[in-house]
Structure 1
Amino acid sequence: MTQDLAPGQLLARGVCRHLLQHGFVGIEEVVPAPGLRVDVMALGPKGEIWIVECKSSRDDYVSDRKWQNYLEWADRFFWAVGPDFPTDLLPPDTGLIIADGYGAEILRMGPESKLAGARRKVITQKFARHAALRLRAFRDPGVTASGICP
């Protein structure tokens, strides 16, 4: 199954595995707002929201023009990259995770920027709905994010 995953998806899997050790549950490919899709969104034991963007190469990072729009949807923001990634490219005021398909390590904690209560409620509900639809799709392959396929 590993060979079916793209490099960024492998990083996301390792990140999600690692975040479980910190009490966070992660889901992949969440849309916090129209036009945005984060690689990993994680919900912590106290309701914290972390966003992790997975970059598999220098070109993948350089072509990302939306990451700053993700900051307003999380309490903390991180980059997740492989061990050979040139980390000096990444902004020093963001979190840093080194990952592979099996695990990860947080090298630098992203600065905390607490979400406003109303924003937290919206994003937590989106997280819950996304997770529920993903689980439902495992049981019923006819279910998609927008409902039931015709």
Structure 2
Amino acid sequence: MPLLSVFEVAPLVDGRQSPAALRVRRGTARLLRDLGFAVVPELTLSCGRRADLVGVGAQGDVVIVEIKSSLADFRADGKWQHYKRACDRLYFATLPEVGDVFPRDEGLILTDGYDATIVREAPARRVPAPQRRAMHLRVAQTAARRLHEIEDPQPRHALAV
């Protein structure tokens, strides 16, 4: 049975994402979903950094995708180095016009905002079991909390009369 919402459901946008970055996120999330991943955007990691997309696969594998909408975006941001400790595979995702300016030892996904393809597979680096469990819990709790906020967007104290 599909889950329906009577509320307008907008993507998680906090004003930092450009329209191009949101296109990359949509196309990349669709690809990951088609590959069997449950995907959560804008996930805060234990290190305090926020990953653009985190996916958990059917076998428990964890992927992180760092979205880069331009060359300037890539050059200005080095936080992705911290993500390697939290995932089994790290990908960059971008638009075709940005090109392949990314490190060769990381994966690459190209998207037009609708379809996406893995251009370069990310090498597997298995995270230790305790870290994997912590990531699974972080993804599950974040996704469940967001779903609940869609179904019941009013804080409890706002319902009191």
Measured at CA, do residues 66 and 139 of structure 1 come closer, stay the same or move farther in structure 2, by a change above 3 Å? same
Q: Describe the SS at the equivalent of 1:51.
A: strand
The percentage of aligned residue pairs carrying the same residue is 33
Q: Can you list the C-alpha shifts for 1:78-103, whole angstroms capped at 9, x where unaligned?
A: 0000010131x210000000012212
Structure 1 gap segments, 5+ residues each: none
Instruction: Please name the residue that 2:81 is paired with.
Output: 68
Superposition map of 1:109-120 within 5 A = 109-120=121-132
Q: Find out whether 1:39 has 2:52 as its counterpart.
A: yes
Return the alpha-carbon distance in structure 2 between the equivalents of residues 126 and 6 of structure 1.
27
Return the alpha-carbon distance in structure 2 between the equivalents of residues 19 and 137 of structure 1.
24
Give the CA RMSD over aligned residues. 2.0
Measured at CA, do residues 47 and 149 of structure 1 come closer, stay the same or move farther in structure 2, by a change above 3 Å? farther
Return the alpha-carbon distance in structure 2 between the equivalents of residues 20 and 149 of structure 1.
36
Aligned length in residues: 144
Give the TM-score taking structure 1 as reference length: 0.88
Instruction: Please name the residue that 1:139 is paired with.
Output: 151
Superposition map of 1:1-150 within 5 A = 6-87=19-100, 89-142=101-154
Which consecutive aligned stretches of 4+ in structure 1 deviate over 3 angstroms post-superposition? none
Question: Greater Rg, structure 1 or structure 2?
Answer: 2
Code of the aligned partner of 1:77: L
Return the alpha-carbon distance in structure 2 between the equivalents of residues 101 and 75 of structure 1.
25
TM-superposed deviation, 1:34? 4.1
Return the alpha-carbon distance in structure 1 between the equivalents of residues 55 and 29 of structure 2.
8
Give the TM-score taking structure 2 as reference length: 0.83
